[in-house]
Amino acid sequence: MISLSNVTKCFGQLTAVRNLSLTVKAGAIFGLVGPDGAGKTTTIRMITGIMSPTAGQIQLLGSDNSETVKEQIGYVPQKFSLYGDLTVMENIRVIGALYGANDERVHALATEILTFTNLLPFKDRLADNLSGGMKQKLALAAGLMHRPKIFFLDEPTTGVDPVSRREFWQMLYRLNKEGMTIFVSTPYMDEAELCTEVAFMSQGRIVACDAPAQLKAGYPYRLFELKAAGKQLKQILADCPILDINAFGDRYHLVSGSDTGVSASVEAALRNAGIQHYSLQEITPTLEDIFVHLAEKEGAS
């Protein structure tokens, strides 16, 4: 359904995407994850035909010309791009008219889609007066007006509150169950966990791509979670067989390549530092652990 072969995009001396190859199957929820500047937005814009690659080949729905399949593509950009001085319903009608639907068809589709996105009670509100989460729902609704086969979303929930993020993803899951392929970029690891396949992008390249469970299974280290009150834990644990310490809120993930003695060594170091109240347990990695590892590996290469 989506195929990229050795795709590169240069902006002058800057190479934003380099020699990227990727395949996305029909029916997937495909997540593209990576830090700012990794090349995620550029990749989506090339796939959707908004910009052309400097080199390489892109096929979408069996065609190497996005113009021939654009009516089967939906796209929600990073920034809200609808009309702030129009109401929710007026925005939807404009989009429907741009796709050539008659007034009766536009009204029927708009009512159906606004009901689906829970925006129908706000159909007469100006877009500028919507919350961040509601604006993204409006962008989602606009992108669905022509019933696309593939829906591209570029960090659609950035800056959106957690409740709206959850509602947004519930809608994506419903669309996917109805047969729509979803291609989404996101900075949130909990959203990446919801995808059927995830690609981690760094410095214009995809450095890992697989189902979340397979990415976790390939993690090469042992991982321990430590909960302890201490501001200098890296210094306290300096002599322990630990490769890295990453903070996750009030918890710390301790990365170790050692098979034995890790728990005993950490507990002894904590006691010697006068830390009596703590919990330590070995855990399975999250996708955030995976991507921290991959980012550090890329930075070192």
pLDDT per residue, tens digit, the chain (301 aa), is: 899 999 999 999 999 999 999 999 999 999 999 888 899 999 999 999 999 999 999 999 999 888 889 889 989 888 888 899 999 999 988 887 777 667 787 788 888 888 888 899 999 999 999 988 889 889 988 888 888 899 999 998 887 888 888 888 998 999 999 999 999 999 888 899 999 999 999 999 999 999 999 999 999 999 999 998 767 888 999 999 999 998 887 889 999 987 678 999 999 999 999 998 899 999 999 998 998 888 877 765 5
Residues 6+ apart with CB under 8 A from 16: 9, 10, 39, 42, 204
Output the six-digit token pair for 286: 């999250």
Confirm if 108 and 96 have CB atoms less than 8 A apart. no
What domains sit in the chain, N to C, each tagged with a CATH number?
2-215 (3.40.50.300), 220-284 (3.30.70.100)
Please state the pTM of the whole predicted model. Answer: 0.87
E strands in the chain? 2-11, 14-24, 29-33, 55-60, 73-76, 150-154, 181-186, 197-202, 205-210, 222-228, 244-248, 251-256, 278-282
| 8 A C-beta contact, residue 2 and residue 72 | no
> What was the pLDDT predicted at 263?
92
Residue among 195, 217, 218 nearest 32 (CA): 195
Decide: 219 and 191 in contact? Cβ < 8 Å.
Answer: no
Half-sphere exposure of 87 (CA within 13 A, CB side): 12
State residue 93's pLDDT score: 86
Q: Which residues contact 296 (CB under 8 A, 6 or more apart)?
A: 244
How far is the C-alpha of 195 from the C-alpha of 186, rounded, in Å?
A: 11
Beta carbons within 8 Å of 291's beta carbon, 6+ residues apart = 33, 34, 189, 192, 200
